[in-house]
Amino acid sequence: MVEKRQQCLKNGVASMAKLIDQEFVRQEFKTGKLRRKVFPMMTDYGIPDRSETVHSHGLNYITAIGRELNNVTAISECPINAPNSYLDTVRPDSVWFDLENNQPLLVAEFERYNNSAAKQKKLKEKLKNLLIAYHQLDCCLESILFVYWSYAGVTANNIQDITTIIDEGLTLSTGKYLSGINSFETNYMVYHAVANGNRNNLKLNQWIKVR
């Protein structure tokens, strides 16, 4: 962990004030000010639950939030790969960058939740990708954001067990163990986006803080 800390200092990450304003991000999820202004299809008009429509809107909304922060830009579906790394290339739904040094600051995933075994497996894969990205980037991220969405009335009974992957780490199929995040350096935010309506017209106005 000392070596990782030194690497972060070398990259100019841990030595300066945080660029990710958590309060701003959390306030936006709560009030939806930017959401209503830039994505009225999510808040007023409604979107259909077809193909990747909800997913596309959700991840681009998260990216738009990142672009509202000072000295930060954000890219949707941006691959993360460290040269000569033994880890696979992953492509988080949104990656936020420091404009001054191009250092990734936050990685995020937006994924549907339901109680099927297949979907729960997909959720775990998404969290695994976030943890891989964290290690690809020498554990120097300021924040990790995971948002799961579901229809109103769906109870995510085991979501705590799923999301703790980021804290506890996991063992890869190769047998290599990836440790969980260092919570002193990296913040971990989890949100639940609730979709109201029917599959032809969904509105996502409730973004509930889970963590």
Model confidence pTM above 0.85: yes
Instruction: Please tell me the distance from the alpha carbon of residue 79 to that of residue 175, in angstroms, as a whole number.
Output: 24
Angle at 55 between CA 68 and CA 145, to 5 degrees: 50
DSSP alpha helix (H) spans, 32-184: 33-38, 40, 53-66, 117-136, 159-163, 165-168
The CATH number of the domain covering residues in 18-209: 3.40.1350
pLDDT tens figures, 86-132: 898 999 999 999 999 999 999 999 999 988 888 889 999 999 999 99
Instruction: Please tell me the distance from the alpha carbon of residue 119 to that of residue 141, in angstroms, as a whole number.
Output: 27
pLDDT tens figures, 125-178: 999 999 999 999 999 999 999 999 999 999 888 898 899 999 999 999 889 999
- The pair of three-digit structure tokens given for residue 174, joined into one six-digit string: 């190769």
DSSP alpha helix (H) spans, 93-196: 117-136, 159-163, 165-168
Domain map of the chain by residue range? 18-209
